[in-house]
Copies of this chain bind each other. A is one copy, B any other.
Amino acid sequence: MSQQRHGSTPGEAGGVPAFPDLPEATIARLPEYLRALHHLAETGAETVSSEGLAAAAGVNSAKLRKDLSHLGSYGTRGVGYDVSLLVAQIEYILGLDENRAVCLVGVGNLGHALAGYAGFASRGFRVVALFDTDPRKVGEQINGLTVRHIDDLERIAAEESIAIGVIATPPGTAQTVADALVAAGVTSILNFAPGVLSVPSNVDVRKVDLAIELQILSFHEHRKASLTALPGGRSAAASPDKLPDNQKAVGS
């Protein structure tokens, strides 16, 4: 896609793993590997083979090995990967050891659910602030956090060093909120409102759109239906796949 291209930086010493520029597709899969590894660690496993980890993460083992090789991983031939070492490696690469501060804007239906979600904390993030404009919402306590007015965004973002913002407001106000986040120094945005955000090139935006996911599924339903309706179309037995075709990475 766009940025990387610090290509070499040959002045970097060989000891510390510097900063590899991984393929987008790879970094999109690392979180899945990480989750699988945590699960394995809980079961007491100390090492995993690429085959085993790949199965747990739902990918091809060759792909997994190539992904891990990109981050100069330490596996042992004949044995596999050291689980805790690999966890540490991936967490480092993803920057999860920094326990990043996240703020959430829009405490409505969806925002309320997100604010109470335990998955944030357990996966390396701290929700440190909630914002809304609705005077009935401002002041409300959710999960130990007080909902603030969005006018306080800039001040609080600076105080808490917030780098990531989540937008859960109606579509019409999403761009305004995004602008406010950017002005407050946020450089990564996760957007739940349908629509395209325009932000400076140094800001990353990822989007989650429920309806899009459903529509993609709907397409496949449509396709499946038209296949079985066709005389030439082989029935279900025709599918020669190995994996239940998902979104690739995403990247989606």
Contacts and interface: CB of A to CB of B under 8 A. Distances in A.
A110 interface: yes
A76 interface: no
Given A117-B109, A123-B214, A196-B56, A245 B1 contact: yes
Contact of A190 (B204, B213, B244, B248): B213
A232 B9 contact: yes
A156 interface: no
A57 interface: yes
A252 B222 CA distance: 19
Interface size range of chain A in the complex: 35 or more
A146 interface: no
A213 B218 contact: no
B206 A31 contact: no
Contacts of A123: 211, 214-215
B8 A223 contact: no
A94 interface: yes
A230 to B, nearest CB: 6
A32 to B, nearest CB: 7
Given A2-B241, A110-B113, A216-B28, A11 B248 contact: no
Contacts of A245: 1-3, 24, 204
A55 to B, nearest CB: 9
Given A211-B119, A243-B2, A247-B28, A222 B93 contact: yes
28 contacts: A1-B245, A2-B240, A3-B239, A19-B223, A24-B245, A28-B212, A28-B247, A31-B212, A32-B196, A35-B195, A93-B222, A94-B222, A100-B221, A110-B117, A123-B215, A164-B214, A187-B224, A188-B218, A189-B217, A197-B244, A202-B224, A202-B239, A204-B217, A204-B244, A204-B245, A206-B246, A216-B251, A247-B250
Given A94-B218, A119-B194, 11 more contacts: A93-B219, A95-B221, A113-B113, A123-B215, A163-B221, A190-B213, A202-B224, A207-B247, A248-B248, A248-B249, A250-B252
Interface of A: 1-6, 8-12, 19, 21, 24, 27-28, 30-32, 34-36, 39, 56-58, 93-96, 98, 100, 102, 109-110, 112-114, 116-117, 119-120, 123-125, 163-164, 187-190, 194-227, 230-233, 236, 238-252
